[in-house]
Amino acid sequence: MVRIVRAVRACAAAAALAVAVSATGPAAAYEPIVEKKTFTMDSYTTINGETIRELKVGWEAYGTLNQARDNVILIAHFFSGTSHAAGRYSQDGARGYWDSIIGSGKPIDTDKYYVISVDSLVNLNTGSEHVVTTGPASTNPETGEPYGMDFPIVEIGDFVRVQKRLLANLGIDRLHAVMGASMGALQAYDWASRYPDAVDRVIPVIGSGFADPFLIGWLDVWAQPIRLDPNWNGGDYYGGERPKAGLAAALKTVTLHAQSWPWAQQAFGRTWANEDADPAKSFDNSYAVEATLDKVAKDRAATADANHFLYLVKANQLFVAGSKDTPEAGLKAIDAPTLMLQAEGDLVFFPGLADQTQRMIESDGTPVERARIPGDRGHLNGVLNIQSQGDKIRAFLDRKVGE
């Protein structure tokens, strides 16, 4: 008895799950090819007081830096993301995840702004040809071997401090705005709290000003399959078999957590993965939603690193804006006008946490605006449906501070 309830659109759903979002820009707009660059520091001392030698991160930019070097917008990326926020690396390459709002004539207008984006420390995608990062998979110059779990623990604030050094290196000492989604929002809050004199506007999207304990617990749940995979081996796997099954399971959890029930219902219904394989008949038979999530996770795991995942989890758990003692102190330190964008149905960052974040920023009079990104994609609305807030973002960026 075949219990197919709804027509399946599993392929479409799988494509939509992919991080790189294809968006069509104005056909006539000049569109330069994006060049990935590398920033190197001989030595970097973490917030925790440990030293990382030969630190490298990748970065890219869209638009032109003006003479006054005051037209800079920094875009920070999400947990599983990279610096590829807009444009393409080649004529047939995938467009950056926020290409719908960044470009010539778009809300973050590259005819006007110099938009820069940086691969984070311990970036997840060590196997991607375009990502440059430093983390446990990197070679420790002192031993000639990968660091593994000997790599220093880093915080969101360390990502930000490295970005600050990169900008200083480019002669940039202040930001017209800093913006990011999810973990990128955490970096945006951190920038504004850590360097209040260097940030003119903040646009945190689908994030909050500190890691609340429910998120801390979920981050631990995301990570636990990696530690259960015997190939993880305490993080020492670079010479042998990688913990791909554990990493794929971790990425599956993240993928599902970032989605929503309406998405699953529309994309899959209760359709089977294989119409000849009734899930009631065998543990080997699954539903389409399971098979698609498995495939997406396996594909993502192929270019990701398990230890980097654990370091990202730690960095997110530790997050309080500006590395201050309390969320209240961290957010009160923000002086820049803030545009908070939350997503409908977000299961990672809840509206109540945005309320708390807003109150803490406003506690000394800093103005906060808020808007809700609509859609059926849960947390991912913040990436996939950001263009719905285009006018609001454009107006916020255009407004003179103090107006």
Q: Which residues bind its own copies (CB under 8 A)?
A: 1, 3, 5, 47-48, 149, 153, 155, 210-218, 220-221, 224-225, 228-230, 245-246, 249, 252-253, 256, 259-265, 267-270, 279-283, 286-290, 293, 310, 314, 317-318, 320, 325-327, 347, 350, 352-353
| Cα(277)–Cα(282) distance, integer angstroms | 8
DSSP string, 259-293: S-HHHHHHHHTT-BSSTT--TTT-TT--BHHHHHH
Strand order through the sheet with 72-76: 37-45, 51-62, 114-118, 72-76, 177-181, 202-205, 338-343, 368-373
Quick one: 172 or 304, whose CB is closer to its own copies? 304
**Quick one: 37 or 314, whose CB is closer to its own copies?**
314
Q: Is 346 tagged catalytic?
A: yes
Residue 115, H or E segment? strand 114-118
Residue of 346, 355, 364, 391 marked catalytic: 346
Nearer to its own copies, 74 or 264 (CB): 264
Which C-beta is closer to its own copies: that of 16 or that of 94?
16
Tell me the C-alpha distance between 32 and 29, whole Å: 10
Buried b (16+ CB within 10 A) or exposed e, 124-145: bbbebebbbbbbbbbebeeeee
CB of 202 to its own copies, least distance (A): 22
Residue with tokens 């990202």, as numbered in its chain: 312
> What residues does 178 pair with on adjacent strands?
74, 202
Shortest spacing between CB 311 and its own copies, in angstroms: 9
Find out whether 382 and 373 touch, Cβ atoms under 8 Å: yes
Query: What residues act catalytically?
Result: 346
